[in-house]
Structure 1
Amino acid sequence: MVAPVPAPRYLVPIAGLFSGVLIVSLILSGKIAEVGGVTFTAAVIVFPLSYLFGDVLTEVYGYASARKVVWAGFAVQLVWIVSYWIAAALPPAPFWTHQQAFETVLGATPRIAVAGMGAYLVGEFLNAYVLARLKLALGGRFVGFRLIASTVVGQAVDSALFLTLAFAGTLPASELVRLGVSVWLLKVGWEVLALPLSLPLIAWLKRAEGVDAYDRGTDFNPFSLRG
C-alpha cells in the first residue's frame, strides 16, 4: 500500500493571508496620498504583501499552486465588490445617516474595480511566470535577485495597466505617468526592504514542507488549473 503524500501544512494559511491583503488593498485604494512630493494610493501600504506571498507560493510550491491561489484571490475580490454594491443599494434605516460616508469611503466605481481586478490578474501571473522561469534558468540560485526581478516586471505592468484602465481620460497623461512611476518605485522598494523577511521565510518553508518546486513541464497557461 502506497503511503499518501502529506499535504502542505502552510499553503492554506498563506493563501488566506494573501486573500486578506487583497481585500484590505481594495478598501485602501480609494485614498490617494502624497508624502514628500511622491503621490501614491494608500493601498501601497499593504498591496506589495500580495507579491511577497505570491513569490513565496511560486518559489516554494510552484507556479501551479500559485495560479490556484491567484484565482482564489480574484474570486474573493469579486465577492467583496458584489457584496458592497448590494449593501450600498439597500435603503438605509431612517436613523442611520452615514450612507454617503459609507459610499465615499468604501465605494469603488465600476471602472476602478474592473481596472484593479484586471491589473491584479495580469501582474500576479506575470510575476509568478517570471519567477518560475528564472528559477529554472538559474538553477534555483540567486533567490533575492529573482524575487526583485519578477516584482519589477509584474508591478510595472500592474501599475501601468491599473492607472490606464482606471484613470485614462480623467487625469492628465503627465500626472498618470508621474503617479505610475511613483507607485512602481514604492512597490519595488517595498520588495527590496522585505528581503530580510521573505528570504528566511522561503528557506524555512522549504525545510518545513520538504518541498522546493521546480516548474519543469509545468503548463504556464494562467487559465488552466492543472499542474
Structure 2
Amino acid sequence: MSNELLWVLFALFDLTMVIVMFRFFGRVGLFGLIVFNLIVCNLQVIKTVELFGLTTTLGNILYASVYLSTDILSEFYGKKEAQRGVLLGFVALLLMTVYMQLALQFTPTAEDFAQPHLEAIFGFMPRLTLASMAAYLMSQSYDVWAFHAIRKRTGSKFLWLRNNMSTLVSQLLDSAVFCCIAFWGVFETPVFLEILLTTYLFKAVVAALDTPFIYFARRVEPLVHRVA
C-alpha cells in the first residue's frame, strides 16, 4: 500500500474515531482522545516520510484531529471545557517526558535489549516535547479563543467558518513554533523549510477534511447522556 493511500485512510479513520469516542463517552472520550493522540503523535513525529513527492513528518494526522476534538468541546460544552482539554493534553505531555527520562536513568541488565532503542526515541524527546508543548499551548489557546470569537459574531450559524478559520490559523502558528524549536539545526535549511511547509500543508488538509465530521457530531447524541 502506498504512503499516500495509507495517509488518507489513516486520516479518515482517526477523524471517525473522534466521533466514535464522542458518541460513546461524550466529553470524557474527547479528553481521553486528546491525551492519547498527543502522546502518540509526539512519537510518530520522529519519523520522516515522503507523501505526494514531499518530505514530511508523521504525527500530523493525530495532531490535527486534536483540533477537531477541542472544536467539538467548544461547540457543545463551551470555552471552559475546551480549555480543560487543552490543559489536560499539556499535563499529559509533560508527565510522559518526565517519566520516560526517569526510565532512561535506570541501569539496564546485561540481557536488556530495549535501552538503546528507548534512548534513540526518547533521548530526543525533551526537545520535541518542549517544541510540542510550546506550539500546542500557543496554537490551541488561539484556536479556542478564535472559535468563540467567531461564534460570538455569527451565533450558531457558519460552523464551517469558525471550525476552519480558527484551525487553519492556529495550525500555521503551531507548525512555525514547533518546527523552529524541534528541527532548527537538526536538518539542513532546504529540508527544514520543506518540513515546515509540508507539516502545515498536511495539517491544513486534515483540518479541511474534518469539516463534515464536526457537522456529523451535531447529529450524534452521546450515550452517556442517556445513562445519566
Are 2:151 and 1:135 aligned?
yes
- In 1, distance between residues paired with 2:67 and 2:167? 7
Following TM superposition, the consecutive aligned residue runs of length 4 or more in structure 1 with deviations greater than 6 angstroms are: none
**Which one of the candidate residues 28, 33, 39 is aligned to 1:12?**
28
User: Matched residue of 1:47: which SS?
Assistant: helix
Shift of 1:195: 2.2
- SS where residue 96 of structure 1 aligns? coil
How do 1:90-169 and structure 2 match up within 5 A?
A: 90-169=106-185
Which of 1 and 2 has greater Rg?
1
CA contact (8 A) 1:59 1:202 kept: no
Contact 1:58 1:65 in 2 (8 A): yes
Alignment correspondent of 1:188: 204
| Structure 1: gaps spanning 5 or more residues | 1-8, 210-227
Question: What TM-score, normalized to structure 2?
Answer: 0.81
Rounded Cα–Cα distance in structure 1 between residues aligned with 2:130 and 2:196: 18
- In 2, Cα distance between equivalents of 1:203 and 1:145: 18
Gap change, CA 1:205 and 1:127, over 3 Å in 2: farther
What is the identity, as a one-letter code, of the residue corresponding to 1:139? G
2:99 to 70, 76, 83: 83
Q: Deviations over 1:120-140 (max 9, x none)?
A: 111111111111111111122
RMSD of aligned alpha carbons? 2.1
- Unmatched 5+ stretches in structure 2: 1-24
> Could you give the per-residue CA deviations for residues 12-35 of structure 1, whole angstroms, max 9, x where no partner exists?
221111111111111211111122
Contact 2:56-2:199 at 8 Å conserved across structures? yes
The structure with the greater share of residues assigned to helix is: 2
From the superposition, tell whether residues 22 and 173 of structure 1 become closer, same or farther in structure 2 (CA, over 3 Å): same
Identity %: 28
Amino acid at match of 2:145: Y
- In structure 2, C-alpha distance between the alignment counterparts of 1:135 and 1:185, rounded to whole Å: 25
When the two structures are aligned, how many residues end up with a matched partner?
Answer: 201
